[in-house]
Chains A and B, each alone.
Chain A
Amino acid sequence: MTPDFEQTIQHNVNILHKLCRVYSNDETEYQELFQDMLIQIWRALPNFRGEAQISTWLYRVCINTALGYRTRAKKTAGKFVPLEENLPSAFSFGLDGKDEQSNRLLKAVRELKPVDRAIVSLYLDEKSYEETAQILGITKTNVATRLMRLKKQLLEKLSAYE
């Protein structure tokens, strides 16, 4: 049975929110990407067969949308109907009013290469190597090797900000 779209979004909204923050460069991009993800989930949800967990499936759709958005961001910039009136203020690009550590971590993740940002986001969201490998279509060994390097890189960046 196809899961309900609204419920799926409500239960997993933080997946979209965090990936949008990680992959956008400003508020407009955040809003566009969030909307783009909603559209792709809406389109793809009827094809969800329940072979993977819904959250794993959502990560796939959202990461693919975010990476696809990069290759077309310049062409569609400003052509979306804005969602500001629909999105509560918590959904935004910046972290104003949040603690300094969260700001630094987000800044450090944003400085990584696009694919590395996905690997780090999945790791920080407690996804196993196997799930990360399934989502990205690479091997578990590849995930493990990259994560070792990325964790080191991330910690170095964070200590440089202090």
Chain B
Amino acid sequence: MNEEELKQIWNKDKVAVAPVINFEALQKNMSGWEGKLRRKIKIDIITNAAAYVLLIPAAIYYPEILYLAPFMILIWVWYLWETLRIYRQETGSTESVSTIEYLKTKKRFLENYISRTRYIVFISTPISALVGLYMSGYLPKIWQTPLLLAAILISFELMLIIVVEIYVRKVYLPSIYELKELLNQLDY
């Protein structure tokens, strides 16, 4: 068999009819994987905003926690900035760029999403834990024994790292490995 014959065989497989496009079904299915990620990012923003709003009444009763306000505002601004950046990247139409560019963008998007998840959890959760300890009245007592405070914070942080890493490795890393493999196939 030669190359021309190959092409002839390939061209035998043709459909002569066009599909009737059901736009309603198309719209329903828009909520695929990417749609789900976009919704997830929106929910992330809303829940984080709600958590900060909930701190307002707490600050009325415990004004001392306002000392933490500048740090929390900084983290929130950074978080919002990163989230919106990822959101814009995700919603931008990347399907019509070259395959290598498309795969690189998808990989970058997932890596950014993982970094953001790691940073936000590893930085803001211990701060929230400190606020919680303070509000429960335990912080001044624990403060007297710095070793205990350090042990609590380190154990808490380690637990967070383990949980977040398991989550990230299970949910996102397989897709990143697949994308890397495809990029390798393109000799990138």
Contact = CB atoms under 8 A, between A and B. Distances in A.
Interface in B1-48: 1, 3, 6-7, 9-22, 25-26, 28-30, 32-33
A6 B99 CA distance: 24
B182 interface: yes
Given A36-B32, A115-B186, A136 B19 contact: no
B141 to A, nearest CB: 47
A40 B19 contact: no
Contacts of B13: 18, 21, 95, 98, 102, 106
A116 B21 CA distance: 30
A140 interface: no
A2 interface: no
Nearest to B105: A64
Interface residues of A, number: 69
A60 B97 contact: yes
Given A6-B21, A91-B19, A98-B13, A47 B96 contact: yes
Contact of B6 (A17, A85, A105): A105
Nearest to B103: A67
B175 interface: yes
Interface residues on B, range: 35 or more
Contacts of B182: 67, 70-71, 114-115
Contact of B26 (A42, A57, A75, A85): A42
B185 interface: yes
Contact of A118 (B6, B22, B99): B99
A160 interface: no
A57 B187 contact: no
A71 B179 contact: yes
A102 B9 contact: yes
Contacts of A96: none
A144 interface: no
Contacts of B98: 60, 134-137
Nearest to A46: B93
Interface string B47-75: 00000000000000000000000000000
Contact of A64 (B25, B95, B185): B95
16 contacts: A13-B15, A17-B15, A43-B95, A60-B97, A64-B94, A64-B95, A80-B29, A81-B25, A83-B19, A85-B22, A88-B15, A90-B15, A90-B16, A105-B6, A134-B98, A137-B97
Interface of A: 5-6, 9-10, 13-14, 17-18, 21, 34-36, 38-40, 42-44, 47-48, 57, 60-61, 63-65, 67-68, 70-72, 75-76, 79-81, 83, 85-88, 90-91, 95, 98-99, 101-102, 105-106, 113-116, 118, 124-126, 134-138, 142, 151, 154-155, 158-159
